[in-house]
Amino acid sequence: MEDIISLVDEFDHHTALLAPAVFILFHIIRPFLFIPVAFICITGGLFFGITYGAIYSLIGVTLSSILFYFLMQSMPSLSARFSRLREKMFGQHQQLSVPQVILLRVTPFIHFHLISLLIIEMTRNFKEYTKLSVLSNIPLAIIYTTFGQWIQSLQWPYIITLLIVILMLFYLLRRKEIVVKWEDFFATQPER
């Protein structure tokens, strides 16, 4: 009987060390499984608690963002596809501010890696990209792990109110300038 108890205790100890690594790995492969980031972060809060769930989620989504950065650098066709999607959603000349990017990261209906593409366009190098990614991922990890059950139990009027507030903040925190390139302003129209 003592052997079984020690075996179970040892298994429990190894699983406790392995579970965070598997959770972080799950964050990295999440885009290939088409699972929303919010769902994984909420799950992390339920499994590991608020503090460790937020830390593990922050590590996981940051590693996912870094992987996306290198994929965009090495796969031009994927980069072009995401750029077309960005142009459809935000326009060709839309410049977003850092608070807007953070709000978009928290919004559950916006594609996670579309925001990563916006961060790539806002930064000059990998170091800046990583800093801004971590900065934008912190609220995401904290909010979804902390309020995971609260968000799931919200009724539709509260969800709609929350989305309206996020959209209003998104509008109020925008950059007040638009930069149009010379070539785009004086682009020739094809003859019909």
Residue 17 lies in a domain: yes
Region 144-164 average pLDDT: 73
Residue 186 lies in a domain: no
Residue 119's domain comprises 2-177
pLDDT for 88 equals 79
Residue 22 lies in a domain: yes
pLDDT exceeds 60 at position 169: yes
Query: If you write DSSP's letter for every residue of the chain in order, what string do you get?
Result: -HHHHHHHHHHHHHHHHHHHHHHHHHHHHHHHHT--HHHHHHHHHHHHHHHHHHHHHHHHHHHHHHHHHHHHHH-HHHHHHHHHHHHHHH-SS----HHHHHHHHH-TTS-HHHHHHHHHHH-SSHHHHHHHHHHHHHHHHHHHHHSHHHHHT--HHHHHHHHHHHHHHHHHTS-S-----HHHHTPPPPP-
Residue 184 lies in a domain: no
Residue 127 lies in a domain: yes
Residue 188 lies in a domain: no
Residue 118 lies in a domain: yes
The predicted model scores a pTM of 0.71
Q: Determine which of 13-22, 31-40, 92-101, 175-184 has the lowest per-residue pLDDT on average.
A: 175-184
Residue 183 lies in a domain: no
Domain count, the chain: 1
